[in-house]
């Protein structure tokens, strides 16, 4: 799939731009967005250069998607059987 078609899948929910925590092999969302995330537009302010300017920003490729960093209703992971979506981090963790 070409880059334009791949990017067109995004619904701009912004949930993937929230910091994540891995604990006991499970990924959790924090309540802290990336400093490069614009909450009004729900877009990355450095999208075209995000991997150079923020190396910890994970690329959206098959290996990363299987890792479980996107919400369960994200179009990027809709076809992954038994997808293990992140959970919200709570005080118990």
Instruction: Let me know if residue 23 belongs to a domain.
Output: yes
Give the count of domains, the chain: 1
29-85: pLDDT as tens digits:
888 999 999 999 989 999 889 989 999 898 888 777 888 889 889 999 988 899 989
* Parent domain of 64: 3-88
Question: For every residue of the chain, which 3-state class applies, written as one string?
Answer: CCHHHHHHCCCCCCHHHEEEEEECCEEEEEEEECCCEECCCCEECCHHHHHHHCCCCCCCCHHHHHHCCCCCCCCCCCCCCCCCCCEECCCCC
30-46: pLDDT as tens digits:
889 999 999 999 899 99
Instruction: Let me know if residue 93 belongs to a domain.
Output: no
Whether 3 has a pLDDT exceeding 80, the answer reads no
């Amino acid at each position: 799939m070409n880059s334009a078609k791949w990017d067109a899948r995004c619904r701009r929910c912004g949930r993937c731009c929230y910091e994540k925590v891995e604990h006991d092999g499970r990924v959790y969302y924090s309540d802290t967005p990336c400093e490069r995330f614009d909450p009004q537009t729900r877009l990355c302010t450095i999208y075209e250069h995000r991997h150079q300017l923020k190396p910890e920003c994970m690329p959206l490729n098959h290996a990363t998607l299987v890792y479980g960093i996107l919400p369960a209703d994200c179009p990027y992971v809709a076809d992954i059987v038994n997808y293990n979506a992140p959970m919200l981090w709570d005080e118990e963790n």
